[in-house]
Structure 1
Amino acid sequence: MQRDLHAMSATDYDLVIVGGGITGASTAWDAALRGLKVALLEKDDFAHATTSGSSKLVHGGLRYLVNGELKLVRESLRERRIWENVAPHMVHPLPFVLPTYGWGMKGPIVLGIGLALYDLLSFDRNWLSDDDKKLPGFRRVSKGKALDLMPSLRRENLTGAMIYYDCQMFAPERLCLECIEGAVEQGADAANYAEVTGFETQAAMGRGVRVTGVHVTDRMTGESVTVRGRVIVNAAGPWADKTMAMADETPARRLIRSKGIHIITRDISGANALAVQSAIGGHFFVIPWRGLTIIGTTDTVFEDDPDELGVTAKDITDFLAVVNDGLPGLNLKREDVIHFYAGIRPLVDTTPQEVPGVETGESAKDAEKKDSYNASRAAEVYDHGAEEAIDGLISAIGGKWTTSRHLAEQVVDLALKKLGKSAKCETHCTPVYGGDMARLKTYVVRAQKRHAHLAADVVENLVNFYGSRIDEVLATADERQGERETLLRRLGPENATIGVQVVHAVRREMALHLEDVVFRRTGLGTAGHPGVDVIGQAAELMARELGWDATTLAREIAETTRQFDTIPGAQREAAE
């Protein structure tokens, strides 16, 4: 996967996609599989924002049943199964413990009815070739068993628990990248750090304008180019309305941006996830992940620039209060937080838009209190040509990680219609880049035998991150004479990541900054600071590949380690 904006500016594309998160990545993968010539542009690194800032769940959305969103739940459950099939190394079953209290709305009868409907809507959940991926139906356990599973549960009125199943991603940022790599393998072109700054347009026949391309600034060099396409797809996630505004000063759709933070702590729940209700902060999940526990997420309206997103010390303190209220026996403290991260959910704002001279019925005070928690996670594919006379532009807005593949399918269907072409979607039955294997456990065992010169945990880690492509990664160690021994070493004694992963990320996966490798190619930093020595070794390997001088090397290390600190927020927090 090579980055070449000059070559892209000299190519005519069927589809130019703005945004390298999972929506843009899935759209590129789908379109390329259907034979379209595709370009993908991302202003930062691939999967740098919402895509990597998720709870790492692929789930049906049990709580959406309360809102009566049966169609969204069914769509999500179907897509959950598809992700298990096409990304077997990335998506795995996860049991959830749902405590029951009393005999009312939170009791076993009501929750049992809801979970029975959830299982009914996922009637196809076990249409899978790998038996290890199959999901059992829900079951009820006693109060004693519930406390055995999670001793910190609130005990007052506890009547037991329900256990149901959803799925979890090992590394959402890698799964997104694999969709992009799959698209590139089919002929697509992609570039990160390529910021779209405007649209190229021409007068359309009859009325309005036609978008014919995008103006792009190369954030690595400062150069500007134009990339042209017959259809442009806005898949910019939290920036989607800002991207729309480049074509029309009054965006056709508004977004509610919902900030969600997560904290990572020690293992507190074993193999089971836990769904908890807090009286002071809504529901949250306790999720086992790589031997640690993710707790998340918050859900608050975020009205600042999405580029300014971060986690403040107050964010963590406030969320710990919610967690300790929901799990009073846990008593988590700030020093128990190993790592933290944040993401923004881009939700479609369905409140009436103000029209001059027309009363909408929404007061200014109400407008300030957008509800992100109860806002729908449904997506929308918006054709600007049909409603605004801005032809050639499609926006994909809203949605959730789980349903991103299906959203992309709808986008490509519309794009093909505009292009006067026809081709069936294949992403529901095509393995992602690295997903071509029968049974994951069997593949891991065979890979460990094939690479017996490497430690078993190193090989398992490679399979987790690269799936069936691990031999291609390891082959990078043999590309230059004398590198093999060095590149097959661990970066740290307690770390399963080896040097070749860093070099492969630079040579094959478009990693341009140290944080690209640490957070989105290898996962070195996604579970907390891996240590100064580990980051230093990764930086040295990148420096040799990219020709960094001492100043650049020091800056890259500083900018990466800064990601492990909370952002300054004292003044803003004091004002609130």
Structure 2
Amino acid sequence: MITDRQAMAEPAWDLLVVGGGINGAGIARDAVGRGLSVLMVEAEDLAQHTSSASTKLIHGGLRYLEYGEFRLVREALIERETLWGMAPHIIWPLRFVLPQMNSPRPAWMVRLGLFLYDHIGGRKRLPATETVNLARSPLGAGLKPGAGKAFIYSDCWVEDSRLVVLNAMDAASRGATVLTRTRLVSARRRGALWEAVLADSTGERTVSARAIVNAAGPWVEDVLQRTQDPAQGGAAQGGQARKRGVRLVKGSHIVVPRLYHGDHAFLLQNPDRRVVFAIPYEREFTLVGTTDEAWQGPPAKATISEAETAYLIETVNRYFSADVGTDDVCWSYAGIRPLYDDHASSASAVTRDYVLDLDTDGGAPLLSVFGGKITTFRKLAEHAMEKLSAHFPMAGPAWTAGAVLPGGDLPGGDFDAFVAELASERPAFPHYLIRRLARAYGSRAEQILEGARVPGDLGRDFGGGLTEAELVYLYRNEWARTAEDVLWRRSKLGLHTLPQAAPLIDAFLAGLHHG
């Protein structure tokens, strides 16, 4: 990685990207690959908020068809197989069972929606929709009696926070500078340049950039406030962008002991016409979500409410035989979606499409990102570069569609064959560990396993197969600095380790930092 001192040596960056979520990381990667000099800053850890709190799906958004979001759904459907090809270790196909029991929608309407879903997005590798009778199918195992007709369709799963990290890693490998735990204090136009003040634990420093991309997610309006010019009575230098608004909507999830056997997921319809996913998670669990609850006040760290927990548990008990209560919730998480404010009447109806707002105000450009979803981050980045193209005529063409992310260069894109090869080379290693490392790091798992003949060669095990060798890799390559970074964003090993592991991991990482 490039050090802070090297980062500040650049006389003027082409692009200062503010925000280390999926959109910021995606734009930084796209821009540096076109030949621009890029500095990306994130006030906390990569993917610390919204981008690690999704339902972890690469999907078109079947329910968005009800709201007429055909452009967004089509773009997202096309992206599914593109992203799968870019990162087959952290993205893989998932079949979804959509029972008609308890459905507020007639079967013909659901089937019509799935017909559109199958045909408007250029599906090539994913299986088409089929109809089954759950009373006679193993897919109905775990559901309450009475489950009859269901539709089975395809989307993809993604390790969301790892997708952010891989984009940041690829950007850095191409020459971008990525600074975590570094916040934008303020920015002022100085003719054709932005002069930006950044701060980290060591203090403040000033950098110059030809353009700023505001990809701060829920904090997009806060960043706009930091571009105000006090000499003009506090008028926002991003004045035109201020006409745009962001609507904050909280989405929460719960994790419970596994509700059913099988690798398929469920899409459950509720009487209020909302849908909830139940998805196999971390081998031993089921992930259930999400909710849509309006967020009041300024953005902050989100937690699930009692009402949201009750809603998700009620949904589980409506469909599954298992009797789930609040004591069965092993973990929960919540995130704030920074949706573009289209003045919809309910949080569920707010558009998931994105708006890119370019403000030049006679000087250096400021591009602000409103809305978006994880599935469309790559296309959003391309559109962002199109918006900025007049200011960077030397930039190269779009390039990311066929470029794999770090670790994604598996032979033939065949993950299972890669795992089998990796396991055959290390017969002394437990298969679950080999598979987990392959899932997290793809071909780069070799860097962690290099030279190790038995698990003990990887150093101390902190639980769940998390070893010193893996922590060293995460520190050196993935900006991991705390146990929380490792246990809940670079992985979900927090579900598989004891609480006392966290301070030991913190101490080990601190030793790497000071060593």
Per the alignment, residue 231 of structure 2 pairs with none
Residue 51, structure 1, aligned to residue 39, structure 2: no
Distance across 1 between alignment mates of 2:119 and 2:304: 39
**CA, structure 1 residues 226+42, in 2 after alignment: closer, same or farther (shift >3 Å)?**
same
Query: Structure 2 residue aligned with 1:429, among 386, 392, 402?
Result: 402
Aligned partner of 1:9 in structure 2 is 8
Q: Is 1:149 aligned to residue 149 of structure 2?
A: no
2:250 paired residue among 252, 259, 275: 259
Deviation of residue 237 (structure 1)?
0.8
How far 1:421 sits from its partner (Å)?
A: 2.0
Q: What does residue 395 of structure 1 align with?
A: 368
Q: 1:173 to 1:350 in 2, by over 3 A?
A: same
Following superposition, the deviation at residue 489 of structure 1 comes to 4.8
Q: What TM-score do you get using the length of structure 1 for normalisation?
A: 0.81
2:452 and 2:388 map into 1 onto residues whose CA distance is 41
Q: How many residues align?
A: 499
Could you tell me whether the CA contact under 8 Å between 2:59 and 2:155 is conserved in 1?
A: yes
Name the CA shift for 1:135/1:145 in 2 (closer, same or farther; >3 Å): farther
The answer to whether 1:447 aligns with 2:422 is: yes
Q: By how many angstroms is 1:448 displaced?
A: 1.7
Instruction: Select 2:498's aligned residue among 531, 536, 539.
Output: 531
Q: Does 1:411 align with 2:393?
A: no
Which amino acid counterpart does residue 348 of structure 1 have in structure 2?
Y
The residue type paired with residue 490 of structure 1 is: D
Of 222, 228, 232, 1:242 maps to: 222
* Structure 1: distance between partners of 2:331 and 2:36: 41
- Aligned residues of 1:9 and 1:228 also touching (Cα < 8 A): no
Mean Cα deviation higher: 370-379 or 44-53: 370-379
- Structure 2 residue 130 is matched with structure 1 residue 163: no
Shift of 1:197: 1.4
Would you say 1:300 and 2:289 are equivalent positions? Answer: no
Report the counterpart of residue 439 of structure 2 in structure 1. Answer: 464
- 1:79-478 equivalences under 5 Å are 79-101=79-101, 106-123=105-122, 125-126=123-124, 134-145=125-136, 149-153=140-144, 155=146, 159-169=148-158, 171-202=159-190, 204=191, 212-218=194-200, 220-221=201-202, 223-248=203-228, 249=236, 251-269=242-260, 270-279=262-271, 282-291=274-283, 292-324=285-317, 326-327=318-319, 329-351=321-343, 371-385=346-360, 388-389=361-362, 391-437=364-410, 438=412, 439-475=414-450
* 1:477–1:182 distance in 2 versus 1, CA, 3 Å: farther
**Structure 1 504/377 Cα, relative in aligned 2: closer, same or farther at 3 Å?**
same
Aligned to 1:491: 462
Q: Does 2:510 align with 1:546? A: no
Alpha-carbon separation, structure 1, partners of 2:297 and 2:144? 36
Q: For 2:70 and 2:347, how far apart are their aligned partners in 1?
A: 19
User: 1:113: how far off?
Assistant: 1.6
CA RMSD in angstroms comes to 2.5
Deviation at 1:112, TM superposition (A): 1.5
Q: Structure 2 unaligned segments of length 5 or more: list them.
A: 229-235
- Residue 275 of structure 1 aligns with an amino acid whose one-letter code is L
- 1:537 offset after TM fit, Å? 3.8
User: How many percent of aligned residue pairs carry the same amino acid?
Assistant: 31
Which amino acid counterpart does residue 434 of structure 2 have in structure 1?
A: V
Instruction: Name the stretch that deviates more: 58-67 or 273-282.
Output: 273-282
What's the CA shift string for 1:67-100, capped at 9, x where partnerless? 2221111100111111101001011111111112
Residues 291-331 of structure 1 deviation map (CA, whole Å, 9 limit, x = unaligned)? 1210000001102322242234454234323443x426443
2: CA distance, partners of 1:141 / 1:312 = 36
State the distance in 1 between where 2:307 and 2:110 align: 34
- C-alpha distance after superposition, 1:431-471 (max 9, x if no partner): 00111112111111112223334332222111111111122
SS at 2:210 equivalent: strand
Alpha-carbon separation, structure 2, partners of 1:228 and 1:106 = 55
Q: Secondary structure at the match of 2:485?
A: helix
SS at match of 2:126: coil
Q: Report the secondary structure of 1:35's partner residue.
A: coil
Instruction: Give 1:536 deviation, angstroms.
Output: 4.3
Deviations 1:181-216 (Å, cap 9, x if unpaired)? 0011111100100011111312x4xxxxx5513211
- Where does residue 568 of structure 1 map in the other structure? none
Q: Is the 1:477–1:488 Cα contact (8 Å) retained in structure 2?
A: no
In the alignment, the residues of structure 2 paired with residue 112 and residue 84 of structure 1 have an alpha-carbon distance, to the nearest angstrom, of 25
String of CA shifts for 1:12-51, please: whole Å, max 9, x gaps: 2111100000001111111121111111100000011111
Determine the C-alpha separation between the residues in 1 that align with 2:26 and 2:305.
32
| Residue 323 to residue 101, structure 1, CA distance change in 2 (3 Å) | closer
- Counterpart position of 1:62: 62
User: Aligned partners of 1:390, 1:57: CA distance in 2, in Å?
Assistant: 39
SS of the aligned residue for 2:465 comes to strand
For 1:281 and 1:331, locate their aligned partners in 2 and report how far apart those are by CA, in whole Å: 23
Distance in 1 between residues matched to 2:68 and 2:273, nearest whole Å: 22
CA contact (8 A) 1:5 1:225 kept: no
Q: Which amino acid aligns with 1:417?
A: A
Q: Would you say the 8 A contact 1:275–1:283 is kept in 2?
A: yes
1-structure distance, mates of 2:134, 2:420? 39
CA distance in 2, matches of 1:112, 1:319: 25
Change (3 A) 1:430 1:420: same
Q: Cα distance 1:488–1:456, how it changes in 2: closer, same or farther (>3 A)?
A: farther
> Which residue in the other structure is 1:362 paired with?
none
The equivalent residue for 1:21 is: 21
Given that 1:377 and 1:398 are in contact with CA atoms closer than 8 Å, whether structure 2 keeps it comes out as yes
2:54 partner SS: coil
Q: Is the 8 A contact 2:19 2:40 kept in 1?
A: yes
Select which of 511, 517, 525 maps to 2:486.
517
Residue pair 2:422, 2:434 contacting (<8 A) in 1 also: yes
1:391 Cα offset (Å):
3.5
Residue matched to 1:573: none
Is the 1:59–1:167 contact (alpha carbons within 8 Å) kept by the matching residues of 2?
yes
* Matched AA of 1:535: A
Paired residues of 1:234 and 1:395 also in contact (CA < 8 A) = yes
Structure 1: state its 5+ residue gaps: 127-133, 205-209, 352-368, 479-483, 549-576
- TM-score between both structures, scaled by the size of structure 2: 0.90
The secondary structure found in structure 1 opposite 2:151 is: strand
Matched position secondary structure for 2:111: helix
How far the C-alpha of 1:159 sits from its partner, in A, is 4.5
CA deviation after TM superposition for structure 1 residue 547, in Å: 4.1
